[in-house]
Amino acid sequence: MLSNSPIVNEYVDRTPSSQALAERAGKFFPSAISHDSRHTTPYGIYVDKALGSRKWDADGNVYVDYFGGHGALLLGHRNAEVEACIQEALAAGTHFGSSHRFEVAWAEAVQRLMPSAERIRFTSSGTEATLLAMRLARAFTGKNKIARFRTHFHGWHDHMAFGVANHYDGSPTPGVLPEVAAQVVLLDPNDIDGVAGVLERDPEISAVILEPTGGGGGMIPLAPDFVTQLRALTAQHGVLLIMDEVVTGFRVHRGGAQGLLGVTPDLTTLAKILAGGLPGGAVAGRADILDHLDFQAAADRDFEKIHHPGTFNANPLSAAAGTKTLEIIASSDACARAAAFGAELRQRLNESFARAGVAWAAYDQPASIFIFMNAAGLAIDPRNFDPLAIPYQDLKAKPPGLLNKLRLALLIGGVDFSGSGGGVISATHDDGDLEQTVAAFEQAVTLLKAEESLPRI
Ligand SMILES: Cc1ncc(COP(=O)(O)O)c(C=O)c1O
């Protein structure tokens, strides 16, 4: 595979085993992948093992990892205490088809960190959690519509599959039922007056769901007081507030975004860190709302309960991993360390973009980092960058070819940054990782300048 790009050629030279695996995978998987965010041209790396902040590909190349198990691994890969708990649970059995002590301890660990979790129902993923939260909201309020924000991601089921990266007009993406899309109202982030107008005009809205630090895990940040205002507004209109803390839960703060912002939602959706690196999700929140899953409450109050099975709900392995992870987060400075690393990396990257004369900028949320690639060529100063001053469409717009090449160039430098131009940080990222990441970005910018036109300061 010879390309006219030295970056692509060097990447291919370094990764022959990944290339061979991708060719085999292409015989089965659409685009040779099992998750859209792994789409990389000509192919992505195949990883054999991981430890702490690092992972090793099939050719033995080592990378500083900024995927962090799609955000699930705040404690890094293979935390020894979490692993010991998984082994112990594994030795007891993987599925009892009955209730077990692990799920009770797991719920207690969640509630300790997130007091709004009066009741909890575990699911197998974040997508299932947002689906269930919406159903609860409709059953509880007797209203049909859900309002959500443009660019906010809540999983891939029908209600959530448009208005995230496109279809901002609310039209359904392929395969989504138009009847479902018609029951979803899209709102603009950071426009509290717009939200007020919609809630005023539309009495059919049962709930507003949001990513509480902004779309894409905070890539499209929300203004500091927006969530507080939204809480007040939804309460005023009798509309439920669902915080989707699948990413932010136990990452931005040990109590999630609700702990960080001091705002209490009616319902919270959780996954990722919740399950300590194994599959799992949950809906947590007000007892009177989760009562719609409760046999006795339904009988006492004469309503039809929501039917909710799920083969792997609260499976013992995820419960054990999640409980230990949450215990470590509760009793350590893991969140603060990951956040401090992100803030330092942001500053160092912005200094280096400025030195290189490139009008890109890094910005962060606690324990996550994002790169603004400035597709529109706006006049910015990386050392003084405020993402809130940039329209969400511009923050979201990444030049796809350039983004892919940046990713390959960073892989050459031993850094696996996500394909969306961001990275999640763990408590195991250390000074060596920081230096390597800054060096990899500097090398990547030099390589890219030779092949592409980057926005200039
Ligand atoms: C904010 C948010 N909600 C929901 C989901 C869906 O979670 P899952 O991938 O576990 O289905 C994601 C996944 O990245 C997410 O980021």
pLDDT digits (tens, 9 = 90+) for 118-141: 999 999 999 999 999 999 999 999
* Alpha-carbon gap, residue 323 to 273, rounded angstroms: 10
Helix (H, G, I), strand (E, B) or coil at 206: strand
* Residues carrying CATH 3.90.1150.10, the chain: 6-76+334-451
pLDDT at residue 87 in the model: 98
The one-letter amino acid at 243: M
CA distance 37 to 247: 15
Q: How many CA atoms lie within 13 A of 174 on its CB side?
A: 0
Give the Å distance between the CA of 382 and the centre of ligand 1: 30
For residue 228, how far is its CA from the centre of ligand 1 (angstroms)? 23
Select from 243, 171, 181 the least CA-distant residue to 214: 243
CATH of domain 80-331: 3.40.640.10
pLDDT of the residue at 332: 98
* Percent of the chain's residues with pLDDT above 90: 96
In terms of DSSP H, where are the helices of 26-100?
Answer: 68-71, 80-92
Q: For residue 7, what are the β-bridge partners? A: none
- At 286 the pLDDT is 98
Count CB-CB contacts under 10 A for residue 328: 18
What is the structure's pLDDT at 1?
Answer: 59
Find the 126 Cα to ligand 1 centroid distance in Å. 5
Q: Does ligand 1 have an atom closer than 6 angstroms to the CB of 257?
A: no
Predicted local distance difference test score (pLDDT) of residue 398: 86
Residue of 131, 153, 251, 252 to mutate, ligand 1, most atoms within 8 A of C-beta: 153
Cβ of 124 closer than 6 Å to ligand 1, yes or no, is no
CA 213 / ligand 1 centre spacing (Å): 14
Distance CA 255, CA 252 (A): 8
- Is 426 close to ligand 1, i.e. is its CB under 6 Å away? no
Q: Is 244 in the pocket of ligand 1 (CB under 6 A)?
A: yes
Residue 123, H or E segment: strand 119-123
CA of residue 210 to ligand 1 center, whole Å: 12
pLDDT given for residue 2 in this prediction: 63
Distances (CA, A) of 349 to 356, 365, 427, 437: 10, 15, 19, 9
| Closest listed residue to residue 249, CA positions, set 337, 160, 330 | 330
Cα 167 from Cα 155, distance rounded (Å): 16
Length of the chain: 457
Q: Are 207 and 147 in contact (CB under 8 A)?
A: yes
Nearest atom, ligand 1, residue 245 CA: 1
> Regarding the domain delimited by 6-76+334-451, which CATH topology (the fold level of the hierarchy) does it fall under?
Aspartate Aminotransferase, domain 1 (3.90.1150)
Q: Give the pLDDT score at 378.
A: 94
Cα angle for residues 165, 171, 173 (degrees, 5° grid): 60
**Region of 87 on the Ramachandran plot (φ > 0 left; ψ -120 to 50 alpha; else beta):** alpha
219 lines ligand 1 (CB under 6 A): no
The per-residue pLDDT for 397 is: 87
C-alpha 227/C-alpha 268 separation (Å) is 14
Q: Is the Cβ atom of 246 under 6 angstroms away from ligand 1?
A: yes
Ligand 1 pocket residue status of 211, Cβ below 6 Å: yes
Contacts within 8 Å (CB) and 24+ apart, 193-202: 195/147, 195/230, 195/233, 196/233, 198/147, 199/147, 199/233, 199/234, 199/237, 199/239, 200/237, 202/145
> Is 247 touching ligand 1 by the criterion CB < 6 Å?
yes
Q: Is the Cβ–Cβ distance between 66 and 415 less than 8 Å?
A: yes
In the chain, list all ranges with CATH 3.40.640.10. 80-331
Do the beta carbons of residue 266 and residue 113 sit within 8 Å? Answer: no
Residues of the chain with pLDDT under 50: none
401: its two tokens: 């070819």
| Ligand 1 atom closest to residue 248's alpha carbon, by position in its atom list | 1
Tokens 């920081």, located at residue: 434
Cis-peptide, bond into residue 42, ω within 30° of zero: yes
Answer yes or no: pTM beyond 0.85. yes
Q: How far does the chain reach from its first CA to its final CA, in angstroms?
A: 35
Nearest of 52, 32, 16, 62 to residue 416 by alpha carbon: 62
Q: Note the pLDDT of residue 418.
A: 85
